[in-house]
Amino acid sequence: MASQDRPLSPHLQVYRWQMTMALSILHRITGVGLGLGALLLVWWLVAAASGPAYFDLVNAVMTSWFGRLLMLGFAFALFLHLCNGLRHLVWDAGYGLEIESARAGSWIVIVAAVVLTLASFALGYAVR
């Protein structure tokens, strides 16, 4: 059979975007973001071990508006990845696989990630 005679698999253009599809992609993206955020954490720890001068430099970067924006993004990635992972555990147990349940679970993941991110920053600033 020639390669031209084979049917093509459906492509993304065939499918309608759904929340579960978007969260699956976001789960992968946040996993990469968490890896990059871990590098920032290692940078901060190395700076803390290197002495006050280098730590002051790294601390100035991390407490700037850009550093705080990075930390906000890191926190959101952490909580979205966590909540979506918990949703996958529920799915692995055989629950929430119906279309409406999956859609509702997607919104729960997003809302929980936003609430947890904002709560962690509010707590961080309140303690500070």
Local confidence pLDDT in tens for the 128 residues of the chain: 556 676 666 666 677 888 999 999 999 999 999 999 999 999 999 999 999 999 999 999 999 999 999 999 999 999 999 999 999 999 999 999 999 999 999 999 999 999 999 999 999 999 98
pTM of the model: 0.85
- The tokens for 51 are 């002495």
For the chain, domains (ranges, CATH) are: 18-127 (1.20.1300.10)
d(CA 36, CA 71): 11
Instruction: Note every long-range contact of 94-100, with CB atoms under 8 Å and residues 24 or more positions apart, other chains counting.
Output: none
pLDDT tens across 97-110, in order? 999 999 999 999 99
d(CA 107, CA 48): 39
